[in-house]
């Protein structure tokens, strides 16, 4: 769904954007140099945005150490927990941060009836 649906919508003429945590050093994503403060309780934390345009889809990646430190490269191992059936203790914090980042996205598709934006469910 994170790849097939956005590409299919783009082929139909929609301007499509996906937003996902930056879980890897994606070689084709460039640093937008846009930073945003994300309120987290009584504190806030800074996130950065990376962008790639691939197969007709704008791909936005939210960069923060909480996301990037959880993987071992492109294998996508360790994404949700250190082993099968066991969650990371900070999963709720990472998921909450991502949900607050979504409206801060600095890359906005043009306002047309054919624009589609989707958040990645792969947290």
* Alpha-carbon dihedral sign for residues 35, 39, 44, 45: negative
| pLDDT digits 0-9 by tens, 50-93 | 999 988 999 998 998 888 766 655 445 555 556 666 777 777 88
Query: What residues have CB less than 8 Å from 23, skipping those under 6 apart?
Result: 67, 68, 70, 71, 76, 79
Confidence of residue 114 (pLDDT cuts 50, 70, 90): very low
pLDDT of amino acid 107: 63
What torsion, rounded to 10 degrees, do the Cα atoms 52, 58, 63, 66 define?
A: -120
pLDDT of amino acid 70: 63
In the chain, the domains with their CATH numbers are: 4-108 (3.40.50.2000)
Give the count of beta carbons closer than 10 Å to the beta carbon of residue 111.
7
How far is Cα 120 from Cα 21, in angstroms, rounded to an integer? 8
Q: Which residue has better confidence, 110 or 90?
A: 90
Give the pLDDT mean for 26-55.
Answer: 89
How far is Cα 5 from Cα 65, in angstroms, rounded to an integer? 28
Instruction: Identify which of 61, 78, 75 has the alpha carbon closest to the alpha carbon of residue 26.
Output: 61
User: How confident is the prediction for the chain on average, in pLDDT?
Assistant: 76
Residue 40 scores a pLDDT above 80: yes
Give the count of beta carbons closer than 10 Å to the beta carbon of residue 85.
6
In the numeric block, the tokens 């930073």 are attached to 35
Residue 22 scores a pLDDT above 70: yes
Give the pLDDT mean for 91-120.
Answer: 65
In DSSP terms, which residues pair with 18 in a beta bridge? 59, 118
Residue 109 scores a pLDDT above 70: no
pLDDT of amino acid 11: 92
């Amino acid at each position: 769904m994170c790849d097939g649906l956005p590409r299919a919508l783009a082929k139909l003429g929609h301007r499509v954007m996906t937003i996902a945590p930056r879980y890897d050093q994606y070689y084709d994503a460039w640093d937008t140099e846009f930073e945003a403060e994300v309120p987290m309780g009584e504190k806030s934390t800074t996130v950065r945005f990376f962008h790639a345009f691939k197969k007709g889809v704008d791909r936005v990646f939210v960069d923060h150490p909480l996301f990037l430190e959880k993987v071992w490269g492109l294998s996508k191992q360790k994404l949700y927990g250190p082993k099968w059936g066991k969650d990371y203790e900070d999963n709720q914090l990472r998921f909450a941060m991502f949900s607050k980042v979504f409206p801060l996205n600095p890359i906005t598709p043009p306002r047309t009836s054919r624009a589609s934006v989707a958040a990645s469910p792969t947290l």
